[in-house]
């Protein structure tokens, strides 16, 4: 059991008609850890930040979600218990609105060198991270909306998900 922050923001709706047997995919959770992103660990201060994170338990990670197609495995399981439904089952994965790579890029941008070549302090990077996450959400939504003109923007997620703390 656990809290899945902002999971409802990640996927578009899926239509299921009456009497359909629909497999929506197998839910997959992964996390983008701020100080583990390529480019962040190369920063001198982030090496200290990594040690500090381990000592204090102060983790900044952003959960990302995906629906993975394991329909053949699931069909076999359905066939064992409910054989009458196995051949009727259709796979209809919900499309992802948000893109994990955008979130990883936000982490790298927040911890990037300043224009003068100096490294940001951890406080400066943390202050920049929320804005970068908001940009990541906006970029994902814009890309999804462009590819799916029928997507209703009023149902789109507004703020970026906030970091979670592991259990």
CA dist 146 and 29 (Å) reads 26
Least confident of 81-85, 93-97, 98-102: 98-102
In 3-state terms, what secondary structure has residue 97? coil
| Number of structural domains found in the chain | 1
CA dist 32 and 2 (Å) reads 17
CA dist 133 and 78 (Å) reads 40
Whether 15 is in a domain gets the answer: no
Per the CB < 8 A criterion, the answer to whether 92 and 24 are in contact is yes
Report, as an integer, the average pLDDT of 48-56.
41
Whether 122 is in a domain gets the answer: yes
Whether 158 is in a domain gets the answer: no
pLDDT at 104 over 70: yes
Question: What's the pLDDT at 102?
Answer: 87
Whether 163 is in a domain gets the answer: no
DSSP H or E run through 47 = helix 44-56
| pLDDT tens digit sequence for 132-163 | 888 888 899 899 999 998 887 555 444 555 55
pLDDT at 68 over 90: yes
If one compares 59 and 106, the residue with the highest pLDDT of the two is: 106
Whether 97 is in a domain gets the answer: yes
Whether 157 is in a domain gets the answer: no
Question: What's the pLDDT at 111?
Answer: 81
pLDDT at 32 over 60: yes
Whether 156 is in a domain gets the answer: no
Question: What's the pLDDT at 34?
Answer: 65
Segments forming the whole domain that contains residue 129? 20-150
Whether 110 is in a domain gets the answer: yes
Beta-bridged to residue 164, according to DSSP, are 61
């Amino acid at each position: 059991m656990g809290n899945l922050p902002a999971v409802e923001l990640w996927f578009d709706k899926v239509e299921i008609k009456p009497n359909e047997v629909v497999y929506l995919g197998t839910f997959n959770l992964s996390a983008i850890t701020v100080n583990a992103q390529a480019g962040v660990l190369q920063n001198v201060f982030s090496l200290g930040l990594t040690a500090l994170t381990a000592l204090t338990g102060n983790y900044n990670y952003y959960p990302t979600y995906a629906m993975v197609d394991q329909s053949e495995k699931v069909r076999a399981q359905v066939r064992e218990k409910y054989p009458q439904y196995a051949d009727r089952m259709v796979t209809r994965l919900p499309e992802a609105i948000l893109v994990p790579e955008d979130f990883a890029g936000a982490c790298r941008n927040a911890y990037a060198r300043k224009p003068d070549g100096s490294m940001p302090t951890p406080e400066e990077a943390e202050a920049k991270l929320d804005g970068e996450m908001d940009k990541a959400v906006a970029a994902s939504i814009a890309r999804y909306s462009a590819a799916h003109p029928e997507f209703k923007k009023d149902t789109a997620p507004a703020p970026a998900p906030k970091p979670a703390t592991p259990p």
